Amino acid sequence: MPAQQNRTAWQIALGLVGMLVLFLIFLIVIGSTTDLWLGFPLLRSARSWTTWLLGVLALAILYLVGEGGSEWIKKRDKRSQPVWKRAWNLALLLGFVGSITAIVMVVIRLAQKP
């Protein structure tokens, strides 16, 4: 069995910075894909590259929040529940999707040229 190695503070910090960079790249990929799905509204009309990057990061975060929230609402819906409760879950899901869509539209409007 190999001896346990003690990691120094700079190795821990380097690992943390590496994970943050990978997470940032992951968010940029998700945001760019979302921008692609929407028809590149941010890429075509952003004021600057910084604005585009912030918009793409906001889209990625909203996409992840939307995915998590919709899965949470979907888990609550069971076929054995009464119709009124299933209709309430559907209304909750549609309201959640509508609010995420509205926030995405605001993000796109804020990133566009005046």
Long-range contacts from 24-33, C-beta under 8 angstroms, 24+ separation: 24/57, 26/60, 27/56, 27/57, 27/60, 27/61, 28/53, 28/56, 28/57, 28/60, 29/60, 30/59, 30/60, 30/63, 30/64, 31/55, 31/56, 31/57, 31/58, 31/59, 31/60, 31/63, 32/56
| pLDDT confidence bin for 3, thresholds 50/70/90 | low
Could you identify the residue written with the tokens 């529940």?
81
Q: Is the pTM of this model over 0.75?
A: no
Q: Quote the mean pLDDT of the chain.
A: 88
d(CA 54, CA 56): 5
User: What would the pLDDT profile of 70-87 be if each residue is shown by its tens digit?
Assistant: 888 888 888 898 999 989
Count of C-beta atoms within a 10 Å radius of residue 58: 21
| pLDDT confidence bin for 1, thresholds 50/70/90 | low
User: What would the pLDDT profile of 7-42 be if each residue is shown by its tens digit?
Assistant: 788 889 899 999 999 999 999 999 999 888 888 888
Type of residue found at 103: I
The more confidently predicted of residues 111 and 25 is: 25
User: What would the pLDDT profile of 39-64 be if each residue is shown by its tens digit?
Assistant: 888 888 888 888 889 989 999 999 99
